[in-house]
Amino acid sequence: MIVNHFKLREDCKAVHLGGMGCSASLIACKLASDLLRLRPKQYALVVSTENISLNWYTGNDKPMLVTNCLFRLGCAAMLLSNKPSDRSRSKYELLHLIRTHRAADDKAYRCAYQQEDSEGNLGIALSKDLMGVAAGAASTNLAILAPYILPYSELLHYVFTLLCRRLLGMKIKQHQPDFKLAVNHFVLHAGGRAVIDEVQKSLRLTDYLTEPSRCTLQRWGNTSASCLWYVMAYLEAKRRVKAGDKVLMLGLGSGFKCNSAVWLALSDAGTNKDNPWLDCIHRYPVLNTLCSGGHRGKPL
């Protein structure tokens, strides 16, 4: 459809990454990045969308009805370039992108699983293990990312407590690295309030840092692969991203997959005419969307 609409050249390489779940956008960005490394002075267009009609559940099984309440239609497009001349007009530079996949573990594989209910209705079942699996996948992914972005002081502190526990048998608490020392903004997958709560608790983030994800969930719902870019658009609409800031994206999806990306802002964020928050950003944040697990409020 895209090639036809824009009448792209015949040597355009099109790749369809359907069925990759909510973390598909960063998977596509990773593929685009790898392709651009092989081909100098090229463009790569990444389009992430959610088509809920394919997985709309028509039965009465409560665990399978949850997805009908959370998911909404959404779409985002990103243009990546490796042309040096494009740097002056680019918003961000991709610094790191880490992918982890835990489908070998049965619990992780089935925590978000397409199946039929007792009456033969097809849908997505979310298990009670989802929160724990998501937290574990995020921890595994960030453990790989940490050496690339954390300051040496944090890494040494972590290694020191690890050695004390394992080699000396000391009963001390394992140091948890503080990613707030390495990045300025957090773009978390807006999969649900419980998911955001779990990630916030794991990374020890403030309500201010999780505000963009919570407001995105309240305004747009879970738009699957594209939701990370709705969160990024919120940061831009609020003009919070400044040149030199680092943004950590964390995508979570069925499989179970966790993907993270670190972007470097090349200029101060401005609000363009296509920003989806333009007509409503003045109403946010809404008080109830900022209630984390430790501050109870009206649920979303």
Residues identified as active-site = 22, 101, 185, 189, 222
Whole-number Å distance between alpha carbons of 209 and 199: 11
Cα 29 to Cα 60, 80, 153, 174, 197: the distances in Å are 37, 8, 31, 34, 26
With CA atoms as reference, report the closest residue to 260 among 151, 150, 176: 150
Q: How many CB atoms lie within 10 A of CB 238?
A: 17
How far apart CA 72 and CA 157 sit, in angstroms, is 42
With beta carbons less than 8 A apart as the criterion, state whether 49 and 225 touch. yes
- Among residues 211, 198, 276, 202, the alpha carbon closest in space to that of 240 is found at 211
**186: amino acid identity, one letter:** F
Q: List strand residue ranges (DSSP E) for 19-102, in order.
A: 43-50, 74-81, 92-101
257: enclosing H helix or E strand: strand 257-265
Question: What is the strand order of the sheet 246-253 is part of?
Answer: 92-101, 257-265, 246-253, 185-188
- The residues that bridge with 139 in the sheet, in sequence order, are none
DSSP element (H, E) containing 261? strand 257-265
